[in-house]
Structure 1
Amino acid sequence: MCGIVGAIADRDVVPVLIEGLKRLEYRGYDSAGIAVVDGNEVSRVRRTGRVAEMAGAAEAEGFHATLGIGHTRWATHGGVTEANAHPHISHGVALVHNGIIENHDEQREKLRALGYEFESQTDTEVIAHLIHHHLKNGADLLAAVQQVVKELEGAYALAVVSRKEPHRMVCARMGCPLLVGLGEGENFIASDVSAIIQATRRVIFLEEGDTAEITRAGVRVFDPQDNEIARDEHLSDVSLASLELGPYRHFMQKEIHEQPRAIGDTIEAVIDGGFVPELFGRNAEAVLKGIEGVQILACGTSYYAGLTARYWIEAIAGLPCSVEIASEYRYRDAYADPRHLVVTISQSGETLDTMEALKYAKSLGHEHTLSICNVPESAIPRASELVCYTRAGAEIGVASTKAFTTQLAVLFQLAVVLAKLRGRLSADEEAGHLDQLRQLPGSVQHALNLEPQIMAWAERFAGKPNALFLGRGLHYPIALEGALKLKEISYIHAEAYPAGELKHGPLALVDAEMPVVVIAPNDRLLEKVKSNMQEVRARGGELFVFADQDSNFGESEGVHVIRTPRHVGVLSPIVHTIPVQLLAYHTALARGTDVDKPRNLAKSVTVE
């Protein structure tokens, strides 16, 4: 959840650290800090709040150095206080940490017995004291870190510097992302390439259990057994332009409007080459031909993408499909059928619960795995047999938008490929699906053109404390996603239900103060949805309906209608996602909340 950056160079690295933290702020923004080694002294500045406040303090205090580490925090252990902010220092050892150390209480008691005092409530301070303890007993910084990580239980990404060794930085990872950036006479570390893209595109992704020594001259990586090992170098394709706002007010707005392009990039391969198994990897045909079911594991918005995919996979491919929240699946005695394909969905590829659920599925005997992810070389794709990358580009806003719709595009492709391999797809049906995909970016753009009408609705929503979202069939997951977006960024309590469930409880909540959003495409369930809408009107509820252009009903008292483009068939959920995203965004604007950095949330969830 938190963000790490570090640098060692012949130049002043403080601007690099601060710029990196600003780019990582989406990962956590409760507090921020940097520590630098200047001569034989470690200096630190920390502030609660945003990176800008910490940066101002660093400038006022005249910070400059050639070696330093920085951190932006999303609070886990301990409240949002300066004492709990990173970096933490123990007798000249400064450390930043992402993740959670599960045996911190045990280690804390051991350290107290050795005479160490604690200034914070965090698990991280335990690590700093442990490293100092090993240094005091004769280890150098690298050896101390390598010994300490063997004593830790849990997940971590660490970066450590010491006043006694101003020529190097040591880092380690287990369960949390960390990469090394390679420069000329200078090197960097970060939890996300966006933090260092202004300095280098050459990166090494550390593997589970790796430690690394970073100096100006080079990088040495060690495996979990402390053997020096070569890790592949990669050239990042993240562009600086993708990390800038441009003409938009917020990254969320920018990313909503990037969806026609993101979807177009994601479906480019299938438009050019058809529904071929190779979309999912070189040996995908052999794997996908033999599967007899699909198990989808994901969290949050990605879970809703999986719920949508279940309809496609069962209806188009004729395969049973189950969808589970990863954090629930990993802790239950699950039934495993090795003939089922395990599909994990994660924007970042580092979502801890999803990664652990994948490991658990493998331990149960699942042999075939597929990752759908937006970040190349991230942990979940590396642990999967097959991979398909969405091509959404960098997503900075905490509330996922273009990652969700590109996930849906990939999942639809999977359903059609599975149908084709099982002999369930005629040539005409395949051509029809291909034509629907080809038209999808244009349909999404038409939906974006509804923004002025949705802005007017948002003003009415801004003063409401609650909202209901209704959908049926394929569009029920889109109602779930709409409710999630509204609550995430506007802080309005919102819930979603299958429209047919209204009379089984939710109808008790409906009154004149409860806006009810309805996803009402012109499909075979439209008449059923209309009946559910009448149930709402009969109780004085106010309806806000997203209908298709060719739906046969209009506005009336208490019924407001915005028409999306004509019904686009089985891909309609993707198009109907756009209006609910825009409604959440503009309602949040009207309420004056922090759209890109909603309270208590962070982008990449690398803790339980």
Structure 2
Amino acid sequence: MCGIVGAASRNNIVDVLIEGLRRLEYRGYDSCGFAVINGDDAKHPIERARTTARVSELAEQGKDFCGTLGIAHTRWATHGKPDTQNAHPHISGGLIAVVHNGIIENYESLRTELKTAGYEFSSETDTEVIAHLIHQSYSASKQADLVASVRSVLPRLHGAYAIGVIAQDRPDILVGARVGSPLVVALGSDENFLASDALALAGRAHSMMYLEEGDVAVLRASGVEIFDQSGQIVQREHKAMPAQADSVDLGPYQHYMQKEIFEQPRAIGDTLANIASFGPELFNADPEEWKKFDQILILACGTSYYSACVAKYWLEDIAGIPTQVEIASEYRYRTTVPNPNALVVVVSQSGETADTLAALRHAQALGHQYTLAICNVASSAMVRETKWNFLT
């Protein structure tokens, strides 16, 4: 699960990008990187640092960088091995830099097309395809309109993704776009931010907006504009920033797996501390509505899937209700026969797991209307898109 952080400011934002990545370390990653542009010099090249080490090593690499506009990224490898060449940001022609969450399903055909057009690839990623496509459109534009170039490329990309884009000769704007993957715009004082997870910017910004499907955001130090799929300027609802969670800090532990293992007793205790009884009321649900359920379908990935397998035994043994557990990454591509009286439960630590989100949307498209999210993050896409939620 990748992480994106971006910033447009009147001041040096390198420390902001690094701190944002540190707060996203809890998601896990195998490489990281950032790129910045100095807003005082439109001729200055994009400065970039990338590593397969930790964010602390990235900070050391970029300690002498200075930029008022930038993008940063933590990567879990999907296309291409975890190495420095495949780490984000990816740069095309020294002009366009891109960070990307998600998967471009038609990247191979686009890659072939771009090679025919003369573009050379330095990585194995699907992300580099995006950078070259935007570069191609931007270079051909008489007005050098970065926003228009990004918007022209989006319909060509098949899949679920979120991107952050900067151009070397436009040190005043950062462009973000989302199709299927979450992206947040956060507002500060003479600085504005982009992130895949609001926790990356907690304490830095005073409010935030969730981009909706197909939105393109244009960030400047002075303000933000959001365009919908039709190209119209729109207003999105402002929300309060979440408090910074202790869970994103590594603390005294060597790594996040160790932290999660040793924090399990406390985490369970904290979750159960204020629960007097277990019933529909716990989820702010109508008890009469819950009497309809004759099946539970749980969708999850990774360790959340293993937890769901344990829950199946308990639910069938204690509650006596048939329970089905599906790996979200497989369920999302299957055509199933929906049970209108089933409760669909999605489980994700972050509430942003791409395959689990896609599986939830697939279930809803099939006609499932009763959905419950179990996750840690109140501001996550999964919580927003389900009928009920339970925060652990």
Fold in common (TM above 0.5): yes
The whole-number CA distance in structure 1 between the counterparts of 2:354 and 2:88 is 21
Shift of 1:300: 2.2
Shift of 1:198: 4.8
Counterpart secondary structure, 1:150: helix
Structure 2 residue ranges without an equivalent (≥5): none
Which of 138, 148, 159 is residue 164 of structure 2 equivalent to?
A: 159
Aligned residue number for residue 331 of structure 2 = 329
Which of 155, 158, 161 is residue 150 of structure 1 equivalent to?
A: 155
When residues 177 and 278 of structure 1 are mapped into structure 2, their CA distance, relative to the original with a 3 A threshold, is same
The whole-number CA distance in structure 2 between the counterparts of 1:247 and 1:79 is 30
Which amino acid is the alignment partner of residue 8 of structure 1?
Answer: A
Aligned residue number for residue 87 of structure 2 = 85
Aligned residue number for residue 210 of structure 2 = 205
Q: Is the 8 A contact 1:101 1:154 kept in 2?
A: yes
Aligned residue number for residue 185 of structure 2 = 180
Runs of 4+ in 1 over 6 A off after TM superposition: none
- Greater CA radius of gyration, 1 or 2? 1
Which of 346, 351, 354 is residue 352 of structure 1 equivalent to?
A: 354
The whole-number CA distance in structure 1 between the counterparts of 2:58 and 2:216 is 29
When residues 291 and 240 of structure 1 are mapped into structure 2, their CA distance, relative to the original with a 3 A threshold, is closer
Q: Is the 8 A contact 1:29 1:49 kept in 2?
A: no
Aligned residue number for residue 9 of structure 1 = 9
When residues 192 and 321 of structure 1 are mapped into structure 2, their CA distance, relative to the original with a 3 A threshold, is same
When residues 2 and 247 of structure 1 are mapped into structure 2, their CA distance, relative to the original with a 3 A threshold, is closer
Structure whose residues are more often strand by fraction:
2
Question: How is 1:436-455 mapped onto 2 (pairs within 5 angstroms)?
Answer: none
When residues 45 and 302 of structure 1 are mapped into structure 2, their CA distance, relative to the original with a 3 A threshold, is closer
Aligned residue number for residue 315 of structure 1 = 317
The whole-number CA distance in structure 1 between the counterparts of 2:119 and 2:254 is 48
Q: Is the 8 A contact 2:378 2:391 kept in 1?
A: yes
Q: Deviations over 1:232-253 (max 9, x none)?
A: 2222333264433444444444
Counterpart secondary structure, 1:187: strand
The whole-number CA distance in structure 1 between the counterparts of 2:320 and 2:215 is 43
Which amino acid is the alignment partner of residue 316 of structure 1?
Answer: I
The whole-number CA distance in structure 2 between the counterparts of 1:254 and 1:48 is 21
Shift of 1:172: 1.0
Aligned residue number for residue 21 of structure 1 = 21
Shift of 1:212: 0.7
Question: How is 1:436-475 mapped onto 2 (pairs within 5 angstroms)?
Answer: none
When residues 26 and 255 of structure 1 are mapped into structure 2, their CA distance, relative to the original with a 3 A threshold, is closer
When residues 246 and 44 of structure 1 are mapped into structure 2, their CA distance, relative to the original with a 3 A threshold, is closer
Which amino acid is the alignment partner of residue 279 of structure 1?
Answer: L
Which of 290, 293, 300 is residue 291 of structure 1 equivalent to?
A: 293
Structure whose residues are more often helix by fraction:
1
**How many aligned positions are there?**
385
Aligned residue number for residue 35 of structure 1 = 35
Query: Cα RMSD over matched residues?
Result: 2.3
Q: Deviations over 1:530-550 (max 9, x none)?
A: xxxxxxxxxxxxxxxxxxxxx
Q: Deviations over 1:265-308 (max 9, x none)?
A: 3234432xx34423213x43343122222112222222222222
The whole-number CA distance in structure 1 between the counterparts of 2:250 and 2:332 is 38
Q: Is the 8 A contact 1:178 1:189 kept in 2?
A: yes
Aligned residue number for residue 106 of structure 1 = 109
Which amino acid is the alignment partner of residue 189 of structure 1?
Answer: L
The whole-number CA distance in structure 2 between the counterparts of 1:253 and 1:27 is 14
Aligned residue number for residue 171 of structure 1 = 176
Counterpart secondary structure, 1:94: strand
Which amino acid is the alignment partner of residue 158 of structure 2?
Answer: E
The whole-number CA distance in structure 2 between the counterparts of 1:360 and 1:196 is 30
Aligned residue number for residue 495 of structure 1 = none
The whole-number CA distance in structure 1 between the counterparts of 2:289 and 2:230 is 33
Counterpart secondary structure, 1:110: helix
Shift of 1:316: 3.3
When residues 83 and 316 of structure 1 are mapped into structure 2, their CA distance, relative to the original with a 3 A threshold, is closer
Q: Deviations over 1:92-151 (max 9, x none)?
A: 111111221111122122223333222222211111111122222325111111111111
The whole-number CA distance in structure 1 between the counterparts of 2:163 and 2:359 is 24
Aligned residue number for residue 94 of structure 1 = 97
Aligned residue number for residue 371 of structure 1 = 373
Question: How is 1:117-516 mapped onto 2 (pairs within 5 angstroms)?
Answer: 117-138=120-141, 140-200=145-205, 202-239=207-244, 241-271=246-276, 274-281=277-284, 283-390=285-392
The whole-number CA distance in structure 1 between the counterparts of 2:147 and 2:212 is 17
Q: TM-score, normalised by structure 1?
A: 0.59
Question: How is 1:24-63 mapped onto 2 (pairs within 5 angstroms)?
Answer: 24-38=24-38, 39-40=41-42, 41=44, 42-59=46-63, 62-63=64-65
The whole-number CA distance in structure 1 between the counterparts of 2:166 and 2:213 is 21
Shift of 1:312: 3.1
Counterpart secondary structure, 1:344: strand
The whole-number CA distance in structure 2 between the counterparts of 1:319 and 1:65 is 57
Shift of 1:170: 0.3
Q: Is the 8 A contact 1:17 1:69 kept in 2?
A: yes
Which amino acid is the alignment partner of residue 376 of structure 2?
Answer: N
Which amino acid is the alignment partner of residue 215 of structure 2?
Answer: D
Shift of 1:87: 1.2
When residues 243 and 331 of structure 1 are mapped into structure 2, their CA distance, relative to the original with a 3 A threshold, is closer
The whole-number CA distance in structure 2 between the counterparts of 1:255 and 1:120 is 33
Q: Is the 8 A contact 2:25 2:248 kept in 1?
A: no
Q: Deviations over 1:144-199 (max 9, x none)?
A: 11111111001222111112221110011223332222111111112223322352
Which amino acid is the alignment partner of residue 117 of structure 1?
Answer: E
Q: Is the 8 A contact 1:269 1:279 kept in 2?
A: no
Counterpart secondary structure, 1:70: strand
Counterpart secondary structure, 1:270: coil
Aligned residue number for residue 430 of structure 1 = none
The whole-number CA distance in structure 1 between the counterparts of 2:266 and 2:85 is 44
Q: Deviations over 1:5-53 (max 9, x none)?
A: 1111121111111222233234454332221112113222223333333
Q: Is the 8 A contact 1:210 1:224 kept in 2?
A: yes
Structure 1 residue ranges without an equivalent (≥5): 391-608
Q: Is the 8 A contact 1:327 1:357 kept in 2?
A: yes
Percent identity reads 52
